[in-house]
Amino acid sequence: MTTSLYSRLGGYDAIAMFATKLIGQAQQDDILGRFWENRGADRNARDLQILIDYLVNQTGGQMYYTGRDMALAHQGMGITETDWARFIEIVVSVAGALGVGETEGGEVMAFLDGLKADIVTA
């Protein structure tokens, strides 16, 4: 039996920690911070929980994702190749700091690569 990526990443708490650190760094980033400008704390908290739900669901955890698909969720945001590259740098940094293994990190990167076409539109 193959162990799910969800389990190998450390389950809900580890994924929630990853998402929280990722979004926290992205919000403070000179390139990506603009996506969180003029948004209230409640909206940001809701979006973070939706991201956690999505990641748990997509990695094999028992979470029902109620959010939109990636194309609709990012429509009109004007996300560029530069934005994407910076986002990936932050993903790698956070994953490294949290001790994500090479195999699991590769699976996460492959998963993200599969989402890029729906997210990068500018």
Phi, psi of 11, rounded to the nearest 5 degrees: 80, -165
Give the separation between CA 77 and CA 104, rounded to whole angstroms. 29
pLDDT at position 1 over 80: no
Helix axis angle, 11-28 to 81-97, nearest 10°:
130
Kindly list the domain boundaries of the chain, sorted by start residue: 10-119
Q: Assign 122 a pLDDT band (cuts: 50, 70, 90).
A: confident
- CA proximity to 12, closest of 69, 51, 45: 51
Please write the tens of the pLDDT for every residue from 29-79. 999 999 999 999 999 999 999 999 999 999 999 999 999 999 999 999 999
pTM of the model: 0.92
Q: In this structure, which topology does domain 10-119 adopt according to CATH?
A: Globin-like (1.10.490)
pLDDT digits (tens, 9 = 90+) for 76-115: 999 999 999 999 999 999 999 999 999 999 999 999 999 9
- 104 Cβ contact list (under 8 Å, min separation 6): 5, 8, 9
Average pLDDT for 20-37: 97
